[in-house]
Amino acid sequence: MAKIITPSEKLVLDFLAIAQTYQSNFELIKVLKSRTYKIANANVLVRASSEGNRRYFFGLNYLCAEEMANLENPFIAFICGSVERTIIIPAKVFFKYLPQISHDRNGEYKINIDRNLNIVLAGRGNRLDCSSYINNWGLLLSPPRQADSKPTSVEESLHSIIQGRLLEIGNIRGFETFCPDKSRVFNDKPLKEIATLERCPELQFSKYELLRQIDVLWFKPKGSYYVPQYAFEVELSTGVWSGVGRMSTLIDYETVPLYIISNDKRLYNKVISANEYSARYHFIDNESLGELYAAEKSLKELRFEIGL
């Protein structure tokens, strides 16, 4: 039985057909849940809305927006009823206006685009002029690049995003946090500034050279030393999962759970089944971690709002 293609899906296919005429090399970015494509040197989140009466409506989850903001050369393509009416806007330009777009407590932004293809903002008659972004394929295919920056893959960016989210969750819960990747950036902030510990604490029953390389660690202070509480490794590649071996240095700390963050449950089961300490390891998929991160931040904001 042939799959039924929705009007929105048809618009996306039309968009990709045009992209292929400009650039033969494009692909779906599979490590992201959102419908994001690598087109030339840009990463493009594609959103489609079928023909409306007066406006076109799009939803954008906060987590998806955050992931796009942390990618290199991110764009959003809003297809408004037809590929001939597509707004191709640099994501970082658009995200500056997110505070002026309504959203629910779950972090879902409600984006409206009027018949003139301008984005509706808060306030009577307030609009983001998108005239320069309508069908602007040239901007998409030749995105600006920092002269002194080296290209960053989507996997590297997502790795930093997950590390940043783990550090933020640990901080919210009152742990002391450590991350070895000082130069990586999350939400325009170096991970070293998000982590509360500049140097990894040394532990009596752990090999320090391995311990200080673990992607994220949470500690509790106890007198003049630190007690490990949780350990996390982010595994996005399909190669050797070296993080499993690094976390084994904490095996003697029996109360410390060891977490693998990945979207490949099949490979996780294969790797862990061969480990004699398999019961100590736990799997969390990227999406679930993102939902936990959003819930932790939302709860923190709510507590601040009500003063409790």
What would the pLDDT profile of 277-290 be if each residue is shown by its tens digit? Answer: 888 999 999 999 99
Q: What is the mean pLDDT of residues 233-261?
A: 89
For the stretch 219-228, pLDDT in tens is 999 998 999 9
pLDDT of residue 130 exceeding 90: yes
Tell me the pTM. 0.90
pLDDT of residue 149 exceeding 60: no
Domain segments of the chain as ranges: 7-141, 154-306
pLDDT of residue 80 exceeding 90: yes
For the segment(s) 7-141, the CATH number from 3.40.1710, 1.10.760, 3.30.70, 3.40.1350 is 3.40.1350
Residue 150 pLDDT grade (very low, low, confident, very high; cuts 50, 70, 90): low
Residue 237 pLDDT grade (very low, low, confident, very high; cuts 50, 70, 90): confident
Residue 71 pLDDT grade (very low, low, confident, very high; cuts 50, 70, 90): very high
pLDDT of residue 148 exceeding 90: no
Does residue 241 contact residue 235 with C-beta atoms inside 8 Å? yes
pLDDT at 40: 85
Q: What is the mean pLDDT of the chain?
A: 90
